[in-house]
Amino acid sequence: MNNKNKGMFLETIINQTINYYWNENIAYIEKKSVPIEINNIKRKSSHTFVGSFSLRKSTVDYIGMYKGQFICFEAKSTNENKLEYQNFRPHQLSYLRLISNNGGIAFVIVYFALYNEFYKLSIQFLDQHFAYAKNIKYEEIKKNSRPMILEFPGYLNIFN
């Protein structure tokens, strides 16, 4: 699975999950979009070219509410046997930390394509490991994080 497809697979699973939670009235979660401004549109023959730029940094991929509590999480995929620190932007980790420190639910969902496995990582776990290493090995994540099972009909149990 190439880099684009592994990310799309995880996004598809998460979108199915949030739709299931919405339909079952379990939680409200939405995918955040990056705020952009279009600054240039050019038309050449049958093609249209659009230029744009980001208005500000986005925070995390998903936000919402679960049982009266704010929830936010980031989704990351890897084809390797480790999760790289460089896959995160500093403002993403800061946002997760801020929400967690203020009583919200904040975590990262990681999909390891090599093993076809999903894990839920707390911001505290990430902070502990990224304080002294540039990556976290699969074995360490498997040992110290919660596995997430892909349930029928294709959703992750985020809240167990």
d(CA 90, CA 92): 5
Residue 151, annotated ligand binder?
no
Out of 1.10.3860.10, 3.10.20.310, 3.40.1350.10, 2.40.30.60, select the CATH number for domain 3-32+59-156: 3.40.1350.10
pLDDT grade for 6, boundaries at 50, 70 and 90: low
The mean per-residue pLDDT over the stretch 64-70 comes to 97
Looking at per-residue confidence, does 10 or 35 come out higher? 10
pLDDT of residue 39: 59
Q: List, for residues 98-126, the tens digit of each pLDDT value.
A: 999 999 999 999 999 999 999 999 999 99
First to last CA, the chain: 28
* Closest C-alpha among 155, 159, 160 to residue 18: 155
Residue 127, annotated ligand binder?
no
The mean per-residue pLDDT over the stretch 61-69 comes to 96
Residue 92, annotated ligand binder?
yes
C-beta of residue 111 within 8 angstroms of C-beta of residue 118: yes
C-beta of residue 130 within 8 angstroms of C-beta of residue 85: yes
Residue 37, annotated ligand binder?
no
**Reduced to 3 DSSP states, what percent helix, strand and coil does the chain have, rounded to the nearest 5?**
30, 40, 30
10 Å Cβ neighbour count for 142? 13
